[in-house]
Structure 1
Amino acid sequence: METIAQHEVRDKPAKKEKAFKSLWKSILKTGILTWVGLLVIWSIAAYFSDPQFLPSPLATLQGAIELSKDGSLFIYMGYSFARVLAGWFLGNLIAIPLGLFIGSNQVIRSLVEPLINFVRFIPPLAFITLFMLWFGIGEQSKIFLIIYATFFVVTINTLTGVLSISEDKIKSAKSMGASNFQVMRYVIIPASVPYIFTGAKLAMGSSFMAIVGAEMVAANEGVGFMIWNARLYFQTDWIFVGLVVLGLMGFLMDRLFVWIGKKFLKRYNVVA
């Protein structure tokens, strides 16, 4: 008969293999291998390139440290993040109710939808000059540009969410005596939440693209200004610092938004 000690010895390789597989899955989920691979490829490419053309990851890190010594990097990040957050929030605040209203009213939708589908193809950067003329070169023009970049993405996704609702659900609610307000609150909005969430998430990318362009043209602070200013002195490492910082800011904002979605919108079947 097999003893307990013999059984434990026999199970040790299986346990080790299971632990290794679990660790490997955890590593894959974090995406560390992707980042390591990217850094290796970047380092190899930089080794065979002129530092002024393609700085290495180490040179980029040194540039970030240099910019951080006087706090300018964090000041630029703060300005850009505040502008993006303000414009993105206000854009959602306007777009979500409007998308729900347009989607639930067929007459309004017939009148407004062609205009939306026309204007949305005009990129935000095309409006930089006009927004500077209309709202000045201060914060207003930049925030309105981000609102514009956010508005159409969120509106169209919200509109799509409303139109995806089965007509039978709305008729069933009305047949049970629900008012238009109750139909909106208990049927339309809950069913549209996943679409609204996706639209708001996609609009983040548009917001960052818009702010970089605005800061390059009309700003004395911000990550976009830092990138544009670095070209004057041919500080390519500073340009790469700006690119990496923008990526990190967007990534962290996206992860935070996804966490909020998973935490508070799980009952609405939000796929984060």
Structure 2
Amino acid sequence: MRASNLAPRLLPLIGPLALLALWQAAVSAKWVNPVLLPSPAATLGVLFTSVADGSINADLLATVSRTFYAFAIAAVIGVPLGVALGSSVPAYRSVEFLIDFFRSTPSSALIPLFMLLFGLSDANKIAIAAFAAVLLILFNSAYGVMNARKTRVLAVQAMGVSKWHVFKDVLLMESLPQTFVGLRTGVSMSLVIVIVAEMFIGSDTGLGHRIIDAQQVFNIRAMYAAILVTGALGYVLNLAFFMLEKRFVHWSGK
């Protein structure tokens, strides 16, 4: 492979390598207490061991499962409702305050309310994550429809196309790029809220539980290892939706 073709493929590695170098420099120079910040090698060693012996599998699976259910609920509700509201500006304006109010409210502040409604079960964690994600998805889907290119809409209307086909073939398709932005943001938000809920709501499994449990027993290496897994999971989910967007919304920006 030519160097000119290899260079772009290596660009994504620059950030992680720079982070590891900075991390190692901080440890070597003792900018932070070494007890509180173990070396990258020690942390990665614990991470690879937990993956190899399968001790992290149950926690990883629990977090992925809760995130998936929360995101699926949010997408099933948020996309159709957002498209419906976006196709009628008066309808959207009538609920705009409520959408922006709850979208601006930190979902973690609502944890006590959801605990009263759902108790300490998994339903609690899934419900609050779905609530946070659905607002982001709904908002982006609605704006995707409302901001569809007017020239294309007017062009097909001038051809005598029915309103249903204008909506289905123009408005809906034009809204997909913005909808995918909402979906990508929504899945990230689902993961964040699930992790927070696992940390602060009664839970026996999950990466959030693993992080807070390691912190409480002062197993700092295991705590950082779990944080790295959480970050990697978020990156993989975001990358998956980015690839889906490139595959199904290839006309975006054209």
TM-score, structure 2 normalization: 0.90
The CA distance in 1 between the partners of 2:71 and 2:134, in whole Å, is 8
Superposed CA offset, 1:174-204 (max 9, x none): 4544444322211110000000011111222
Q: C-alpha distance in 2, partners of 1:249/1:220?
A: 20
C-alpha deviations, 1:102-153, integer Å up to 9, x for none? 1111331221111111111111111111112112211211111111121111
The alpha-carbon distance between structure 1 residues 32 and 106, as it changes in their structure 2 partners (threshold 3 A), is closer
The AA in structure 2 aligned to 1:214 is: A
**Correspondence 1:227 to 2:208:** no
Where does residue 27 of structure 1 map in the other structure?
Answer: 10
> What residue identity is the alignment partner of 2:24?
S
Aligned pair 1:239/2:223, yes or no? yes
Residue of structure 2 equivalent to 1:259? 243
Query: Does the 8 A contact of 1:52 with 1:234 survive in 2?
Result: no
Q: What's the CA shift for 1:87?
A: 0.8
Runs in 1 of length 4+ with deviation above 3 angstroms? 18-26, 65-70, 166-180
The aligned residue for residue 165 of structure 1 is 148
The answer to whether the 8 A contact 1:83-1:142 is kept is yes
* Corresponding residue number in structure 2 for 1:45: 26
Q: Which runs of 5+ in 1 are unaligned?
A: 1-17
Q: How much does 1:237 deviate?
A: 1.0
What aligned pairs does 1:79-228 form with structure 2 within 5 A after superposition? 79-167=62-150, 169-174=152-157, 176-218=159-201, 219-228=203-212
1:11-37 CA-partner distances (Å, limit 9, x unpaired) = xxxxxxx94444334423xx2232222
| Count of residue pairs the alignment pairs up | 251
Indicate conservation of the 8 Å contact 1:226/1:242, yes or no: yes
- Give the deviation of 1:66 after TM superposition: 4.5
What is residue 233 of structure 2 aligned with on the other side? Answer: 249
Q: Deviations over 1:231-263 (max 9, x none)?
A: 111111111111100111111112222222222
Q: Which moved more, 1:255-264 or 1:147-156?
A: 255-264
The alignment-based identity, stated in percent, is 27
Q: Is the CA contact 2:63–2:206 (under 8 Å) kept in the aligned structure 1? A: yes
Q: Which runs of 5+ in 2 are unaligned?
A: none
Root-mean-square deviation (CA, aligned residues, Å) is: 2.2
Q: For the residues of structure 2 that align with 1:131 and 1:260, how far apart are their CA atoms?
A: 32
Amino acid at match of 2:242: V
